[in-house]
Structure 1
């Protein structure tokens, strides 16, 4: 995402003094979403997201970061209102190949440190992707969600190897919150990467038990791919997903995916979409697919970043 540094933000960079900066970045989307058999099957969809990131660095080269996000969305029923607000803060400290995130931050399964979880989704909202059938995974991320539990995550990268571990604290003030830990490792070779993750959640957690996932992603020229396989103790069937994207021109690409497993009575999900860049961070996109409930879903709209 392109970041813009406003003239009014703090910026210090003098001789013998570490640099500090405050950046604002964001994104927006506007379009139409269709869901088969919904109470309102066709709705106007929109979202505006704004992230503020503050960074400073010590004389010894240790970087400290803090960020917060605001987000406003249309309502789920008719697209006529707006919901959202600011989320809790997330922090990071990094030096060399080590980075430690603390606060309202992503855990290993959500971070993308070692596995491309969603792969190449479809639609301008990315309403379906290769993880569509991956249910009941403990997977927390940074944003403006209501469950702002506290997580500590460490990431270490050396050459082509990456290892990551996270621990989510039990916050008794938040309903349904409980502790969880996760670990993961990945290896990159050329244009390809492989990774594996494992986690264990406290017995009282609604998503209690062990979970794991392995994945691979990469590209062959104009074709990019991702593969994901996983399982957890609360689902009686191993889940899988495959997705790909092909650049049909310098500005346009076609994406498709399939996702299966996840237990009895769950349909295989699949879909196809197209995206076209207009430049300047603006893209037009559309997609159509079928979810785990067997219902057709589709969308079309514009996205932009700044």
Structure 2
């Protein structure tokens, strides 16, 4: 992470501020993708190069009252966009937690099933998307105390909302999310429930995901991983009541600062794969 500090002269604009700074962090991945049914960003091609860059610029200032105010801009560029994604957020933090307004991820996005591959080949989508979970958010509240994390998100325009809670006991954790999608279709709303549990045992990791909704069917997924030295192996499987299924395996090798990773699997009857390198800074 690179930190940029404003000059002292930039901080004398208000005597009510105790400290201010700006941080820049990011991640990137690049490699190749394959989809037997055609790539989402190049439908006429089954295989093509891929890249994704995600940079987050965050500015914060701490008031004499002990509250932290901040704003962030997420600068994204990838093979599947116009390279102009600039999601913005404004937040306030204190003993009450963090309250955020902006272009946000709903709470349910925090507790999905882990995917396979460099950028994700879509095994998790078989379980998550079939539940009819499609909420959005422009306001969000997050609060953590001890092993418990609570969250509420809502969209003040579409009137969607999510309620979520997670308990982390160290070796084991569990999360439960209730979501309401207003006007899911022209004739109905949609309510869904997602339960995710996971754990780690020495070199092993595991997750179980179950979801159900008014509009969709019951779906589930499992994920497991094993790490030995710099090498991590993983596998995932997902299915829903419509008999759609996805499964895959991947391998990741830690280079110390960057990771080489690739995955292959079957999603909705199509063979899919990706391979490349990823890193954070």
Q: Which residue of 2 aligns with 1:144?
A: none
Which residue in the other structure is 2:260 paired with?
A: 284
* Native 8 Å contact 1:128 1:289 kept in 2: no
Q: Does 1:151 align with 2:138?
A: yes
Could you list the runs of 5+ residues in structure 1 that have no partner in the other structure? 76-81, 141-149, 171-177
Determine if the alignment matches structure 1 residue 189 to structure 2 residue 169: yes
Alignment correspondent of 1:127: 121
How many equivalent residue pairs? 269
Kindly indicate whether residue 273 of structure 2 is the aligned counterpart of residue 298 of structure 1.
Answer: yes
Residues 97 and 221 of structure 1: CA distance in aligned 2, closer, same or farther (over 3 Å): farther
Query: Counterpart in 1 of 2:41?
Result: none
Q: Which runs of 5 or more structure 2 residues have no equivalent in the other structure? A: 39-43
Match among 60, 69, 84 for residue 64 of structure 1: 69
Is the aligned partner of 1:95 residue 2:90? Answer: no
Is contact 1:131–1:241 with CA below 8 Å preserved after alignment?
no
Contact residue 31 and residue 49 of structure 2 kept, 8 A: yes
1:274 and 2:279 correspond: no
Structure 2 CA distance for partners of 1:60 and 1:283, relative to 1, 3 Å? same
* 3-state SS in 1 of match to 2:126: coil
CA RMSD of aligned residues (A): 2.3
Compute the TM-score of the two structures, normalised by the length of structure 2: 0.87
Aligned partners of 1:130 and 1:228 also within 8 Å: no
In 1, Cα distance between the equivalents of 2:190 and 2:116? Answer: 31
Say whether the 8 Å CA contact 2:135–2:181 is kept in structure 1.
no
* Change in 2 beyond 3 A, CA 1:238/1:18: same
| TM-score in terms of structure 1 length | 0.81
Q: Distance in 2 between matches of 1:48 and 1:60?
A: 37
Matches of 1:19 and 1:256 in 2, distance apart? 46
Q: For residues 53 and 18 of structure 2, what CA distance do their matches in structure 1 show?
A: 33
Alignment of 1:256-275 (within 5 A): 256-261=235-240, 263-264=241-242, 266-275=243-252
**Displacement of 1:52:** 0.7
1:86 deviation in Å?
Answer: 3.0
- Per the TM alignment, residue 28 of structure 1 is displaced from its structure 2 partner at its CA by 1.7
Task: Report SS of the residue matched to 1:214.
Answer: strand
The answer (yes or no) to whether the contact 1:63–1:94 under 8 Å persists in 2 is yes
